[in-house]
Amino acid sequence: MKVLITGGAGFIGGNFVSYMIKKYPAYEIYNLDALTYAGDLAKHEDILNHKNYHFIKGNIVNRSAIYSLFQQGKFDCVIHFAAESHVDRSIEDPEVFTRTNVSGTQVLLDAAKDIGVKKFVHISTDEVYGELELNSDNLFTETTPLQPNSPYSASKASSDLLVNSYYRTYDLPVNITRCSNNYGPYQHAEKLIPLTISKVLNKQEIPVYGDGKNVRDWLHVYDHCTAIDLVLHEGVNGEVYNIGGNNEKSNIAIVSSIIEILDGSLDLIEYVTDRLGHDRRYAIDSSKISKLGWRPMYNFNIGLKKTIDWYVKNQNTFKEKVNKNGNV
C-alpha cells in the first residue's frame, strides 16, 4: 500500500511517519512537508535509509505540484496532518492559517478525489468544538456543534467541513479525527511542555497566561499514532473519531509538575495578560473510537517524566528556537 503523509516533518506527523515505517515495512510511506519553521527531518535520521521511506519537499497549497505528485504517486491513502497549528501565531496572522489549513486541504481533497484514493484521513483538533465550562463534567463528543473561538480553530473547523462535504458530495472515503493536546518527543519548543522544560533548564521566567487555570486533556503522541492507525484501517467512511487521553490538567498544574520534576523554582512562574479568546477547558469523550478497540497506553505522570527525560537528554543535539515571547 502507498501512503502519503502530509506534514510528516512536524511533531505529530513526524512521530506517525516513524511509527508507520516501523510497523508496516511492506507499505511505501511518502512524507510530504514544506519544512516551515515547525518542521525538521532530524527526527527521521534513523529511517532515512529505509527502502519504504520517501521524503518530498512541497507545499499543499501548490495545486499544480500536488496534482503532479498525486498523478505520479497513485497513492492508496492520504493521512493529512499538514497545518499551521499555533494559536498565538493565528492571532497575529490569520491569513496564513486560512491559506494552509483551508485552501491547502481543498487542494489535497481535489487531488485525492481525482485519482480515487481508498482513504483520506484528516487530522483535526478538539479546539473546533469551542470551550467547556471549567467546573463541569461535560465532554466533547463527535456530535458536539462546532464553535471555534480562534483563527486557528476556525480554520481547522472550516477544513473539517470541507472534508465532510467531499464525502457527502463526491463519495470520497474520508475520516476526521479530533485529538486533545499532544505531548511527547520532538514537539516544537513554542508549545507548552517543551517551552516550560526549556525555561526551567535555563532558569528563565515562565510566562503563564491569565490565572493559569485553563484546562486541557493530554494525549501522548504515541497513543495518538495508534489511534490514527486504527482509523486508517478500521474507520467507517464518513465518520468522525475523537481521540483523547482522559488526562485533564490545568496549565499551571502542568508547569508546576515540570518544575518539580526538574527541581526548579516556582518563583520562575510569571502570570501575564491572558491570550485573546482563550478557551477555558477542553475535554474529550473517546468512547466511540474505544469501540474499535483503541485504548491509550501511557499513564500521564509516567509519560510526562519520560518526555522531560527525552528533552533533557537531547537538548544539545536537538535544538529549536524558543519564541522569546512564548506564553503558556
Q: Which residues of 236-263 are buried (b: 16+ CB within 10 A; e: fewer)?
A: eeebbbbbbbbbbbbbbebbbbbbebbe
- Closest residue by Cα to residue 15 from 27, 4, 7, 24: 7
> What is the C-alpha separation between 21 and 18, in angstroms, rounded?
5
Residue 212 CB contacts under 8 Å (≥ 6 apart), including other chains: 250, 251, 252, 255, 269, 271
Which residues form the catalytic set? Answer: 126-127, 152
Q: Are strands 215-220 and 248-250 parallel, antiparallel or unpaired?
A: antiparallel
Alpha-carbon distance of 327 to 127, in angstroms, equals: 18
Closest CA to 43 of 9, 20, 16, 79: 9
Total number of residues shown for the chain: 328
How far is 279 from 150, CA to CA, in rounded Å? 9
